[in-house]
Structure 1
Amino acid sequence: MTTPQTSSDELTASIEIDAAPAQVWALLADLPRMSEWSDQVVRTWVVGGEVKQGARMINLNQQGWKRWPTNAKVVRFTPHSDLAFRVTENRTIWSFQLEPLDGGARTKVTHRREAPDGISGLSKGLTKVALGGMDAFAHELTTGMGRTLERVKAAAEG
Structure 2
Amino acid sequence: MADPDDWSEELAELERLLRQLGWEREQESIYLQRAFGHPSRSRLIRYADLLAYLAALRQLEPGVDPAQAALPLRRSDLLRSSDGLLASLGWGAAQGRALLEREFNLASRQQLSDDDLLRFNDLLAQQLEALTASSPEHGTP
TM-score range, shorter chain: under 0.3
Whose strand fraction is larger, Structure 1's or Structure 2's? 1
> Which of the pair has more CA radius of gyration?
2
TM-score by length of 1: 0.24
Flag the structure with more relative contact order, 1 or 2, with Cα contacts below 8 A and sequence separation at least 6. 1
TM-score by length of 2: 0.26
